[in-house]
Amino acid sequence: MDKQEILPVIIANFPDGILVFDEKNNLLLVNPKAEALLGLSTGDLTNKPISELKNLSVFEPLAELIGLEAGSKIKDVFRGKIKTKENLTLEVTTASLNNDGGKKGTLVVLHEVTREKMIERMKTEFVSLSAHQLRTPLSAIKWTLRMLLDGDLGRITKEQKSFIEKIYRSNERMIFLINDLLNVSRIEEGTYVYKVALGDIEPMVESAIGLYKEEIKRKKIKVEFKKPKERLPQVRMDTEKIELAFQNFLDNAIRYNHIGGKVIVSLKYDKKEIEVAVKDTGIGIPKDQQDRVFSRFFRAANVMREGTDGTGLGLFITKNIIEAHGGKVWFESEENKGSTFYFSLPME
């Protein structure tokens, strides 16, 4: 078998669906796997006007994702998700087909991820159910311990109080973990950001800083709040969620800082967006691990060596909150010199 014979055989037997469009977005080639995934034959697809392809109900989600328009450029897509049928989820990736004379068309690859999405959904449902069931008894334990510490159930000795305080802090860590797991479940279900209204960023930031005054005092950290001289305009946001996003930044800046370190919180406004930044003088993030910072359960190697607490979910949650508002999140960091985390919210 020569080279010219091999290519058609590879395409015909490729385990993923393949669609090839020419430079005018006319469909030239459909392999058997793509036919099976779309439930259409080659005759239904090839040599059809773009308008006819878009009118096919099973083809509509794909056309919407890749921007299939006559004469326009097909969008660059990497692992975009579409649902073409009730029990079929496809992962879509596009790639330009070029030669020395320029672009000659676009390759679209369809990879079925129905099973993976089903497993993800089952895991999300399990985590959500488990977290809900755990939160109720943990909350009851918390308030019982609080009553003991406050003397509502009688006097306790200094030694007893010390033990109860340790139990109380451990219980609090469990509650934080449960809340983070519930937040991740809601993000994956697409039900997380929903109370959007006009709100003020500055008082929200000041309030959040106040929540950490005891930890700031304990670690002797100097916190500086830099804000514009003029009053910032209101921005459309889910205030509760944006406050959580900022708290996650601030919590990390304090948690992973050195005793006597410094944290600088700043606000900027340029008519198009409001930018929030949290800079610290802490342990920083190793360069070879920085591409995983916003992943679920990520904790840097130097953080693990320090033995500090944390779920590895805070930055993942923050990224999803900000992107759900149409904003951006990014950071700069150098190990042993500190980090600066940013997020911006668009002005509408």
How does the average pLDDT of the chain come out, rounded?
Answer: 84
Per-residue confidence (pLDDT) for residue 51, from 0 to 100: 63
Question: Residues 208, 331: one domain?
Answer: yes
> Looking at 163, 189, 215, which one is the last position of a domain?
189
Residue listed under structure tokens 């150098």: 334
Q: Is 291 left (phi over 0), alpha (psi -120 to 50) or beta?
A: alpha
Per-residue confidence (pLDDT) for residue 4, from 0 to 100: 67
DSSP assignment of 112-155: E-HHHHHHHHHHHHHHHHHHHHHHHHHHHHHHHHHHHHTTTT--
Most confident of 68-77, 171-180, 320-329: 320-329
> Looking at 112, 129, 146, which one is the last position of a domain?
112
Q: How confident is the model at residue 329 (pLDDT cuts 50, 70, 90)?
A: very high
Q: How many CB atoms lie within 10 A of CB 336?
A: 11
Q: Which residues pair with 341 in a beta bridge?
A: 278, 331
Residue listed under structure tokens 């929200």: 204
Residue listed under structure tokens 């969620």: 241
Question: Residues 90, 160: one domain?
Answer: no
Look up residue 227 and give its two tokens: 């804000």
Percent of the residues in the chain that have a pLDDT greater than 90, as a whole number? 22
Domain count for the chain = 3
Residue range 214-251, pLDDT digits in tens: 889 999 999 999 988 888 888 999 888 899 899 999 99
* Cα→Cα distances 146→152, 168, 210, 212, 218, Å: 9, 8, 21, 19, 21
Most confident of 108-117, 124-133, 271-280: 271-280
CATH of the domain at 21: 3.30.450.20
Phi, psi angles (nearest 5°) of residue 265: -105, 130
**How are beta strands 102-112 and 88-99 bridged, if at all?**
antiparallel
Q: How confident is the model at residue 70 (pLDDT cuts 50, 70, 90)?
A: low
Would you say residue 273 has pLDDT above 80? yes
Question: Residues 202, 340: one domain?
Answer: yes
Residue range 178-192, pLDDT digits in tens: 877 777 777 766 666
Question: Residues 64, 173: one domain?
Answer: no
Q: What's the rounded mean pLDDT across residues 304-323?
A: 80
Question: Residues 236, 181: one domain?
Answer: no
> Looking at 97, 112, 127, which one is the last position of a domain?
112
Q: How many CB atoms lie within 10 A of CB 261?
A: 19
Per-residue confidence (pLDDT) for residue 11, from 0 to 100: 81
Range of the domain at 172: 116-189
CATH of the domain at 159: 1.10.287.130
Edge-first strand order for the sheet with 338-346 is 222-226, 262-269, 273-280, 338-346, 328-334
Would you say residue 3 has pLDDT above 70? no
Q: How confident is the model at residue 259 (pLDDT cuts 50, 70, 90)?
A: very high
Residue range 127-186, pLDDT digits in tens: 777 777 888 888 889 899 989 888 888 888 889 988 998 898 888 878 877 877 777 777
Question: Residues 222, 325: one domain?
Answer: yes
d(CA 87, CA 237): 34
Question: Residues 201, 309: one domain?
Answer: yes
The H or E element containing residue 19 is: strand 17-22
Residue range 7-35, pLDDT digits in tens: 778 888 888 888 888 877 778 888 888 88
Question: Residues 98, 132: one domain?
Answer: no
Question: Residues 175, 254: one domain?
Answer: no
Question: Residues 105, 120: one domain?
Answer: no
Question: Residues 159, 238: one domain?
Answer: no
Chain-centre distance of CA 316, in angstroms? 5
Lowest-confidence region among 16-30, 283-297, 304-318: 304-318
In the chain the first and final C-alpha atoms are separated, in Å, by 61
Question: Residues 330, 210: one domain?
Answer: yes
